[in-house]
């Protein structure tokens, strides 16, 4: 899970470089803010899932995933609202560029390691 978040952070940096190339320093900062709107909630979500993984019961895993995903989406939107309120000079084309680059990192992770979709059998602890 953490590897995907690190890949998202790397993609946010790439988005910042592209933002710098097209929109200058303001574009780079704006693209980083767009990337942060995805990376920070994803990092929290990964941390939460690793904590829940240790709990017994399948229902707690499903509910933790669904609740965590909802919180992740709401917090990403909240961060974007904060960017709008705290940085009125942000270039929104670059913010969207940072969002897109960071979100595409999930698909790159699947292309790099398609085995992550397979269900790995865990030995029973008797």
Look at residue 120 in the predicted model and tell me its pLDDT: 56
Q: Where along the chain do its domains lie?
A: 2-113
pLDDT at 15: 94
Mean pLDDT by 10 residues, the chain (126 residues): 87 94 95 96 90 70 86 96 94 95 86 62 53
Q: Are 56 and 37 in contact (CB under 8 A)?
A: no
Q: Residue 124: what pLDDT?
A: 54
Predicted local confidence at residue 123, as pLDDT: 54
pTM, rounded to two decimals: 0.80
Contacting residues for 26 by C-beta, under 8 A, at least 6 apart: 89, 90, 91, 94
């Amino acid at each position: 899970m953490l590897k995907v978040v690190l890949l998202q952070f790397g993609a946010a940096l790439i988005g910042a470089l592209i933002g710098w190339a097209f929109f200058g320093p303001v574009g780079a900062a704006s693209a980083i803010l767009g990337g942060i709107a995805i990376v920070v909630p994803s990092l929290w979500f990964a941390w939460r899932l690793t904590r829940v993984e240790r709990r017994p019961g399948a229902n707690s895993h499903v509910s933790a995933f669904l609740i965590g995903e909802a919180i992740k989406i709401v917090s990403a939107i909240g961060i974007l609202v904060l960017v709008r309120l705290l940085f009125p000079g942000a270039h929104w084309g670059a913010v969207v560029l940072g969002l897109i680059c960071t979100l595409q990192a999930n698909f790159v992770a699947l292309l790099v390691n398609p085995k992550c979709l397979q269900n790995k059998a865990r030995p029973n602890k008797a």
